[in-house]
Every structure is written in structure tokens, then in C-alpha cells.
Amino acid sequence: MAELTSELTKGLLEQIASFERELKAVEVGTVEEVGDGIARVAGLDHIRASELVQFENGVMGMVFNLEADNVGVIIMGDYTEIREGDEVRGTDRVISVPVGEGLVGRVVDALGRPIDGKGPIRSAEYLPVEQMAPGVIDRRNVDRPLQTGIRAIDAMFAIGRGQRELIIGDRQTGKTAIALDAIINQKDENVISIYVAIGQKRAQVARVVATLEEHGAMDSTIVVVASASDPAALQYIAPYSGTAMGEYFMAKGGDALIVYDDLSKHAWAYRQVSLLMRRPPGREAYPGDVFYLHSRLLERSAQMSTERGGGSLTALPIIETLLGDVSAYVPTNVISITDGQIFLETDLFYAGVRPAINTGISVSRVGGDAQRPILRKIAGRLKLDMAQFRSLAAFAQFGSDLDKGTQQQLDRGMRLQELLKQPQYQPTPLGDQVALLVAGTRGKLDHVPVAQVKDWEERFLIFFHTNQPDFEQIVVAADYKLTDEIDKVLVETIDAFNETWARTTEPAAAQA
């Protein structure tokens, strides 16, 4: 026992003798003014923009303004306990968030801290929330499709991996529903999804998480939350944090999809902190760099070149309009940055056309390159036909004397409109989309009453899956091209079903 004690004593003495105290200089400042979620701090002469600082009570802040005699700090937490005269220490770390596989399936705040009660996040890597967008040489053409499972979008406004497609419309028109459908459709596509909730109620975010879990999509999704009750600073940082998480997978050669819900509230949060910091206001009280706010965010979404791993980050930003005004300040800014927009119309939504996509204003500036060849071949004229149908339908309300060609176009348009309607959270596989679009665009539905189109669709898909169980594999084997063999199979299957459909509906028609 004495020998053991002697060895322990000897070891301790050796450690004490070899101990060297490490001196680290830490810049300390003093709070001069605090209130409304911001603080002015003097004494931090060597601090950097966007650097994290820590207040005396442990609350973190981010350097936002660099001025001659003080720095403006936006506080990322409860500022009510911070007082004038409190010490503020620099951390020598630009604001960054954890990234990696450990975040997948988790709900985190804007700083990457878990808020789902599932314990700490295992992540050994951090990335700055603000990074330079990839350069022109590092990118390549967007030519790989990102299937959303939404017929109207995949057929008319196809989205490619690395594209930025804006979802825009008034409140309660189904913007979030489209984004969630796209996320749900990625669960088997080897795509990591990031959903960034900005300024939403926590109850609404909880419903989104529950929906993703119910449909099995949460296992491949990261949810970043800066709710309405969080400080404006966190709402401002949240989309950049989510983008950094997506860039990690893009840099590894993978594919990621990020949804910003929504950038209108993000612009409001930025306007709030900017006005509190006394930055000069411009149009609608937004600061002059509000365009740069979103351009430096959305430009980080890209399809990387083969030399850079070939990964992609696809962005679906959401913007809320007021009374359908797409010419307002923030909507026009984001429209000019993105590669197209899907405009959701209130009148269509209340008329039961869901998703309520206005085919006249909506566009995808990349979709043709990224669309599956089989869909491009079948639905090539669909967008134009649907836009013409909407115009004719509005015109036909004012008169009843229509020529035969116009009436025929209206009748087919009504059936196509029914075919493009789709229940929420039920993405349609590519094979089913192809079969339904062939039936609609080639007049195979012209004999079906408009009110019975959905019933026809439901029964046809059962018949189609029974008779052509391997159709999806056949399309993949044909490199997603519409071959003569595939075309023949589709037409024969539709005609065969229409014969059975005619026999089952004749008795009902006779009774009526």
C-alpha cells in the first residue's frame, strides 16, 4: 500500500513540475447600451464582423455593425438579464453551426442546438453560416431532374437538381404543402432535405414534423426552426445555417434539397435588426442591401462540376404575397434571383383546383434541360394548352356561342385540369404520371364526364398496376425515353381499361 501511495505521489509531483500555464489573451468589452435584442459594446477593437461574442450571463451574440467607437451586437437569446456595464468577451470564432450525418432526422434551432428532446447531436465538424457561393467554373449545367411527385410541376415546370425555384402566393394557398410534398418524394431518392421554418408558430412547425414522420420522410430530413417567439437575430441567421448544413452534403458529392419557409418573414427580421442598429432605411423601410441579403443566400444553391464532386443543393424558397401582388419589393427581388417561380392563385385554390398553380405566370427557366425525356415528349404542349384553356374559360363566361374547336379545347382542358388535381402528401410516381398524361393529352378521357375523371383515374391506376407492374423498370431501362414499345404498351393498356370502364358505367348512365 505504501509503495502504491509513493508511486501516485511521484506521478503527481512529475505532473506538477511539468505543468505550464497557458496564457491566452481575450479581448473584453463593456456593454454601453442594451435593449430590443441589440447591444452596443465598447472596447472590442479587434473583433471581426459576424464573430460570436459571449455576454456575462452566458447569452451569445453576433457582431453586426462595426463602428468607430463601438460595435453593434444582435443578441441571440434573452436580453432582459443583460445590463449596461456587463462584460462581453470575444470567442475568436465566426458564427458557425454543426454539420454532418448526425443532424439528419433531428429538429434544431438556428445555431444547430437540438430542440427535439432526443439528446445531443454527435457532430465533429462545424461550418460558418456565411460562405462564398461557388464560382462559375465550379458549377455545371443543371441537367438532372428532382422529381417532386406533383404532376403539374413535374410535367410543366420541372425542377432540376441545383435549381432555385420560387414558390409564391398569398397566405393559405398551399405553398408549404407543395414544399412538403417535394420533401416526402425525396425519401427514396437519396436526397437529404432541409426544412427551414422562419417566424412560424411552434405548433405549426410541430405539425410539419409530425407530417414528415407520418410519411417516413423525417429519416432523411433536417428541420431548422427559428420560430415567431425567437429573437429576430435567430430568424435572420436560420436560412444561412440551413444552407451550411446542406452545403456539407453537396461538398461530399451528395444531393440536398432546402426549403426556406418563408423569406418574407426573413426579410422582416432583417429589417427589424437593421432599423434597431440605425442602418439607413430605404424602400418600404428595408435597408439598401436587402437584395444582397437573399442573393448571397440563394446563390449558394448549385449543381457542382464533376471535378468538385458533382453534388447539388436545390432551393425552394417561399414568398408570401399580399392580394396576389408579385410586383412588391421583396417578391420582385427574389423572382429576379431565382430560376423560375410557381405562382399559387387564391381564386383557383378556393375553386378546388389544388395545387392552385397559375400556369400563365409560373415558369421554370431550367426545367426543359432537367426534365425526364419521356415527360418532355408527352407533356411538351401541356403548359401552353392549360394557359390557353384558362383564357378560354374566362372568355366563355361572357358568351355561349362557341365554335366546335373552341368547345373541344375547353372540354379537354377541363379534364386535364381534373387530372392535374392531386391530394396533399400523395406524390405520384413517374410511371403513373406518364400513363395519366398520355391518357389526358391524347384525348383518351374525352368520353369521361368531368365529374367522373377522378373516379376514372383511381380505377385506372389499379388496373395499370395490375397489368403493368414492371412499367417503372421498363421506363428506367429505356433511359427515360418514350420508345415505340412503351408508347404501344401505354395506349393498349388505356384502351383496354376504357372498354371495361364503358361497360361498368353504361348501366348507371341508362338508369340516370
**Which has the closest alpha carbon to 372: 153, 186, 145, 160?**
145
**Position 237 pLDDT exceeds 50:** yes
Per-residue pLDDT tens for 248-292?
999 999 999 999 998 999 999 999 999 999 999 999 999 999 999
User: What is the average pLDDT value for the chain, to the nearest integer?
Assistant: 91
Which pLDDT value is given to residue 100?
A: 94
The residue from 365, 376, 390, 412 that is catalytic is: 365
Ranked by mean pLDDT, the top range of 307-321, 375-389, 403-417 is 307-321
Per-residue pLDDT tens for 14-39?
777 777 666 667 789 999 999 989 99
Which pLDDT value is given to residue 398?
A: 66
Of residues 249 and 2, which shows the higher confidence score? 249
Distances (CA, A) of 429 to 131, 185, 194, 472: 36, 9, 22, 8
Q: Residue 211 contacts by C-beta under 8 Å, 6 or more apart in sequence? A: 180, 425
Q: Euclidean distance between the first and final Cα of the chain, in Å? A: 103
Which pLDDT value is given to residue 4?
A: 58
Cell triple for residue 230?
425567437
**Position 511 pLDDT exceeds 60:** no
The CA distance from 232 to 336, in Å, is 25
Distances (CA, A) of 111 to 130, 134, 152, 193, 409: 12, 23, 36, 18, 54
The CA distance from 63 to 95, in Å, is 9
Of residues 408 and 309, which shows the higher confidence score? 309
Strands 107-109 and 125-128: unpaired
The CA distance from 495 to 497, in Å, is 5
**Position 509 pLDDT exceeds 50:** no
**Position 508 pLDDT exceeds 60:** no
Does the bond joining 355 to the residue before it have cis omega, within 30 degrees of 0? yes
The CA distance from 479 to 475, in Å, is 7
- Residue 196: DSSP 8-state: E
Which pLDDT value is given to residue 211?
A: 96
pLDDT level of residue 123 (50, 70, 90 thresholds) = confident
Per-residue pLDDT tens for 350-381?
999 999 999 989 999 987 889 999 999 998 88
Q: How much of the chain exceeds pLDDT 90, in percent?
A: 76
Which pLDDT value is given to residue 319?
A: 97
Which pLDDT value is given to residue 467?
A: 93
Q: How much of the chain exceeds pLDDT 70, in percent?
A: 95
pTM of the model: 0.91
**Position 298 pLDDT exceeds 90:** yes
- Exposure b/e, 23-37, CB count within 10 A at least 16 = b: eeeeeebebeebeeb
Q: Is 365 a catalytic residue?
A: yes
**Position 171 pLDDT exceeds 60:** yes
Which pLDDT value is given to residue 196?
A: 98
Which pLDDT value is given to residue 176?
A: 96
Q: Where are the strands (E) in 148-272, listed by range?
A: 166-169, 191-198, 221-226, 255-261
The CA distance from 270 to 425, in Å, is 32
pLDDT level of residue 104 (50, 70, 90 thresholds) = very high
**3-class DSSP state of 174:** coil
pLDDT level of residue 505 (50, 70, 90 thresholds) = low
Of residues 78 and 179, which shows the higher confidence score? 179
The CA distance from 370 to 435, in Å, is 20
The CA distance from 394 to 137, in Å, is 47
